[in-house]
């Protein structure tokens, strides 16, 4: 089931936002309500503990250039930024992102690699899960 609730200054803009919200809701693994406000703020999992609010727009030319360089969308970056703020993380791993954003660890690693190369995140340290294998990198989002 896909549910999208939208707002807009006109009926036409509300309809456009509604189509975006329903399309986004269908892409999610879990069923939840998606709200898109007229100011471009998207709210996922409305009313649930994992509710996440972020914008999918940016007017920051420098940020957009860095995201284009990293091949990461504004929406993905803003969603990561909102998750970090909501969780109160000082540092996080690719696995943390993957589990909270319902993506593969490999995809989260690709995103973090791109953000690191473009200077939007910094390498903070490592975390060793077991005595064998590589340690996980801990990142911090630059503000």
CATH, residue 120? 1.10.10.10
Overall number of domains in the chain:
2
Residues 63 and 115 in one domain: yes
What pLDDT is recorded for position 2?
64
What pLDDT is recorded for position 29?
61
* Cα Rg of the chain, angstroms: 16
User: For residue 57, is pLDDT > 90?
Assistant: no
Provide the residue range defining the domain that includes 23: 1-57
Q: Where does a domain end: 27, 57, 87?
A: 57
- The 3-state secondary structure of 50-78, one letter per residue: CCEEEECCCCCHHHHHHHHHHCCCHHHHH
Lowest mean pLDDT among 33-42, 76-85, 92-101: 33-42
Residues 78 and 142 in one domain: yes
Residues 84 and 116 in one domain: yes
Q: Where does a domain end: 12, 38, 57?
A: 57
Residues 89 and 137 in one domain: yes
- Confidence grade of residue 135 (pLDDT, cut at 50, 70, 90): confident
Q: Is 112 exposed, middle or buried (0-12, 13-18, 19+ CB in 10 A)?
A: buried
């Amino acid at each position: 089931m896909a549910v999208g609730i939208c707002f807009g200054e006109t009926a036409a803009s509300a309809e456009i936002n509604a189509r975006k919200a329903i399309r986004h809701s269908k892409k999610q693994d879990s069923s939840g309500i998606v709200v898109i406000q007229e100011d471009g703020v998207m709210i996922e999992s409305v009313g649930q503990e994992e509710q996440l609010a972020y914008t999918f727009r940016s007017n920051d030319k420098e940020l957009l250039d860095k995201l284009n360089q990293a091949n990461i969308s504004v929406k993905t970056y803003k969603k990561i930024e909102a998750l970090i703020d909501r969780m109160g993380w000082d540092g996080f791993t690719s696995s943390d992102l993957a589990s909270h954003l319902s993506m593969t660890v490999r995809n989260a690693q690709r995103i973090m690699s791109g953000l690191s190369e473009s200077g939007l995140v910094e390498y903070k340290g490592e975390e060793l899960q077991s005595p064998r294998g590589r340690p996980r990198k801990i990142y911090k989002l630059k503000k």
